[in-house]
Amino acid sequence: MTLKDAPRKLRYAMVGGGRDAFIGAVHRKAIALDGQAELVAGALSSSPEKARASGRDLFLPDDRNHADWQSLLADELQRPGDQRIDFVSIVTPNHLHFPVAQAFVEAGFHVVCDKPLVHTREEADALVQAVARQSTVFGVTYNYTGYPMVRQAREMVRSGQLGEIRKVVVEYNQGWLATRLEGQGNKQAAWRSDPARSGSAGAIGDIGSHAENLLATVTGLEIESLCADLSALVPGRMLDDDGSLLLRFVGGARGVLIASQVNAGIENDLRLRVSGTLGSLEWRQEDPSRLVHYPIDGPKRIWTRGSPWLCEAAQRASRLPSGHPEGFIEAFANVYAGVFADIRARTDGAASSAHADYPGVEDGARGVRFIERTVASAKSGSQWVDW
């Protein structure tokens, strides 16, 4: 390799993630962690003034600090290739994911988009087709799949250490919407409880989608049918803030999925239990460096992040020796690392990288289908509905 073709830092733009936003800053920190990409452009907020002020906070030059995402895209398209962004990160409220992602994919850019991917199945299908047509890389930040011990759990299921999977219980419990925050000026609560911006679901879309993705990633099981009870337990709320589902999987396994944002006092209690004929696994995101394995024929074992006996994918996802805590931002960075590996592979003319371990547009589309079927079941009076 000559100096000329040495790998370079990737360039990216961000849409959303301005002042006072939550997840955009997490994305930027996660991207910065491995020094593989730099922010060069943005359209960071819903109002032109706030967008520009947010871009100045991040030292964006004026000519790449845009008032809206359409100007950002138009500007990128007229720039020479050696200045152009490689990818865009979309961290807006849900209703903007589809138009922004579709426009950037159609223009040939790689995209990372937060979840839930889009509002409807039709939009999801259109995006899947656009990504296939353009051969672009598309990552969806189901960030919990980036935890090393989630990857270890996936490997233990895949390699048969649990035997045949019979039962999966996944819960995502939060308490921050236990009061009507959307009526008190909290903007994160306001858009999440507004069907026009959040989509057809509240808690099920916001955190139930993470639960669905976690169970699918670790177990590989496909939902065959489901039965859902959704409620808005806080008076006056327009979308569900609490959901309980029964799941039947192809092949006969059974599951339970809970997503609730009204568990007063609870923080981010995402937890998974997978049970097979040979044993069970338990993982909790509030204690993410430990994975508990209960074999049928011996004492329980606690596997820890950073230890040498973990699988290759789990080891690759760790940056610090065992015992030094890693967490949310590192898990996000692991999703990005997979996306970057794929973007670099495409640049080198390969279809994909061996390290492309990240949720893609198909996972996002499956998440949209999950939300749609869940809402359909709930609306039918909690009838069982086929996938």
Ligand X SMILES: NC(=O)c1ccc[n+]([C@@H]2O[C@H](COP(=O)([O-])OP(=O)(O)OC[C@H]3O[C@@H](n4cnc5c(N)ncnc54)[C@H](O)[C@@H]3O)[C@@H](O)[C@H]2O)c1
Smallest gap from residue 144 Cβ to ligand X (A): 8
For ligand X, the binding residues in 52-71 under the rule CB under 6 A are 69
Task: Output the smallest distance, CB 182 to ligand X, in A.
Answer: 12
Residues in Cβ contact with 18 at an 8 Å cutoff, skipping those fewer than 6 apart: 24, 44, 45, 46, 50, 51, 53, 54
3-state secondary structure the chain: CCHHHCCCCEEEEEEECCCCCCHHHHHHHHHHHCCCEEEEEEECCCCHHHHHHHHHHCCCCHHHECCCHHHHHHHHHCCCCCCCCCEEEEECCHHHHHHHHHHHHHCCCEEEECCCCCCCHHHHHHHHHHHHHHCCCEEECCHHHHCHHHHHHHHHHHCCCCCCEEEEEEEEECCCCCCCHHHHCCHHHHHHCCHHHHCCCCHHHHHHHHHHHHHHHHHCCCEEEEEEEEECCCCCCCCCCEEEEEEEECCCCEEEEEEECCCCCCCCEEEEEEEECCEEEEEECCCCCEEEEEECCCCCEEEECCCCCCCHHHHHCCCCCCCCCCCHHHHHHHHHHHHHHHHHHHHCCCCCCCCCCCCEHHHHHHHHHHHHHHHHHHHCCCCEEEC
# residues contacting ligand X (CB under 6 A): 25
What is the closest distance, in whole angstroms, from the C-beta atom of residue 9 to ligand X in the complex? 24
* Residue 230: alpha-carbon gap to chain centroid: 22
Q: What is the C-alpha to C-alpha distance for residues 229 and 215, in angstroms, rounded to an integer?
A: 19
Site string for ligand X, 163-192 (x = CB under 6 A): ------------------------xx--x-
For ligand X, the closer CB: 72 or 165:
72
* Contact pattern for ligand X over residues 110 through 149, marking x by CB under 6 A: ----xx-------------------------x-x------
> How far apart (Å, rounded) are the C-alpha atoms in residues 331 and 283?
14
Task: Choose the binding region for ligand X from 22-30, 123-131, 171-179, 311-319 (rule: CB under 6 A).
Answer: 22-30
- Choice from 7, 22, 164, 348 touching ligand X (CB under 6 A): 22
- State the amino acid at position 368 in one-letter form: V
> For ligand X, which is the closer residue by CB, 15 or 157?
15
Between 39 and 162, CB nearer to ligand X: 39
| Window contacting ligand X (CB under 6 A); options: 21-29, 157-165, 234-242, 276-284 | 21-29
Nearer Cβ to ligand X (43/165): 43
Cβ proximity to ligand X, 21 vs 253, nearer residue = 21
> Closer to ligand X at the Cβ: 121 or 187?
187
Q: Is 92 in the site for ligand X (CB under 6 A)?
A: yes
Q: Does 235 sit behind a cis peptide bond, omega within 30 degrees of 0 on the bond before it?
A: no
368 binds ligand X (CB under 6 A): no
Binding residues for ligand X restricted to 324-353, rule: CB under 6 A: none
d(CA 56, CA 68): 15
Selected range binding ligand X among 38-46, 151-159, 241-249, 377-385, rule: CB under 6 A: 38-46
Nearer to ligand X, 114 or 241 (CB): 114
Residue 46 near ligand X by CB under 6 A: yes
- Pick the closer one to ligand X by CB: 52 or 373: 52
Using the rule CB under 6 A, is 195 a contact of ligand X?
no
Judged by CB under 6 A, the residue of 10, 13, 21, 215 near ligand X is 21
Among 85, 91, 165, 214, binds ligand X (CB under 6 A): 91
Shortest spacing between CB 25 and ligand X, in angstroms: 8
The stretch near ligand X (CB under 6 A) out of 88-96, 151-159, 165-173, 340-348 is: 88-96
Closer by beta carbon to ligand X, 198 or else 263: 198
Name the CA dihedral angle for 302, 307, 308, 311, rounded to a multiple of 10 degrees: 60
* 15 counts as binding ligand X under rule CB under 6 A: yes
Residue 45 binds ligand X, judged by CB under 6 A:
yes
Kindly tell me which of 188 and 307 has the beta carbon lying closer to ligand X.
188
**Residues interacting with ligand X, by CB under 6 A?**
15-18, 21-24, 43, 45-46, 69, 91-94, 96, 114-115, 141, 143, 187-188, 191, 206
